[in-house]
Amino acid sequence: MSDKAFAGQVGIITGGSSGLGKGIVERLASEGLTAVIFDTNRDLTTRVEAEMKEKGYAVDSAVVDISDEESVSRGFEYVRTKYARLDVLVNSAGITGPTADVITNVTRPDFDRVFAINVRGSFLVTKYAVNEMKKRNYGRVMLIASVSGKEGNATAAAYSASKAAVIGLAKAVGKEYADTGITINSIAPATVETPLVLNSSPDYVQRQVNRIPMLRMGKIEEVAAAIRYAVSPEASFHTGFCFDVSGGRSTY
């Protein structure tokens, strides 16, 4: 019997070809998960898949746009056909949108795009994942939210509102399946050193770091470690919960 926590399990990690998503793929795959990356960048995803396989990890991939239901449906059909099971979903795909503009300068298309990916995408992948997991009455769903969804960040109204919605989604769906073997949670990191963050407004990023009592950005490995526990079989009494990985910034 393997001593790896995820031996024999299959999981989907959206946005798994870069940043936090890639870190999650590597951490879970290193503990036995067959990790299927859902991402829109075919070239990058193919390179990451090859990189992980060189390390001896079981990693697969599919080109999926989580904001598009037909694309999501095809991605889940691929996993269903090839693996006939789904144990873990980590939804790491997301965008920040405008981070240096007050609401009067935010355009509707920019606002809608943030919600299409962050909120509609979370809804779609959760819906399809639960539909697969309920066949075996087991599963772990983790939605990546943000401390900004708890507190709200000035000049990032769209992002803050979208991440608050993600937290609410996990709380609601977690209650819907609380009497099953399926758990649905979210996690709220503070500012983490990822390409997504580093491509944001430098002033915005520094303001967020200044609000963290530890006075530094979080590391990808630190967030991946928290997620590793939350989607493991041992995390059986957490559902509808928002985990906090914020360096002391948020404790509620």
Q: What is the pLDDT of residues 203-232, one digit of tens each?
A: 878 888 999 999 999 999 999 999 999 999
Whichever domain contains 162, its CATH number is 3.40.50.720
Residue 99, pLDDT score: 85
**175: pLDDT confidence band, cut at 50, 70 and 90?**
very high
Tell me whether residue 219 is in a domain. Answer: yes
Distance CA 165, CA 205 (A): 22
Q: Which domain holds residue 121?
A: 10-245
Tell me whether residue 251 is in a domain. Answer: no
> How many domains would you assign to the chain?
1
Is pLDDT at 201 greater than 80 in this prediction?
Answer: no
**If you average pLDDT over every residue of the chain, what do you get?**
95
What number of residues does the chain have?
252
Residue 200, pLDDT score: 73
Residue 1, pLDDT score: 44
The residues annotated with a catalytic role in the active site are: 159
* Average pLDDT estimate for 83-107: 95
Residue 23, pLDDT score: 97
Is pLDDT at 5 greater than 70 in this prediction?
Answer: yes
Q: What contacts 29, CB < 8 A, 6 or more positions away?
A: 35, 52, 57, 58, 59
**pTM score, whole prediction:** 0.95
Tell me whether residue 3 is in a domain. Answer: no
Tell me whether residue 174 is in a domain. Answer: yes
Strand partners, 187: 144, 243
Is pLDDT at 196 greater than 80 in this prediction?
Answer: no
Strand partners, 139: 182
Tell me whether residue 252 is in a domain. Answer: no
Distance CA 232, CA 140 (A): 7
Residue 252, pLDDT score: 59
Q: What is the pLDDT of residues 47-86, one digit of tens each?
A: 999 999 999 999 999 999 999 999 999 999 999 999 999 9
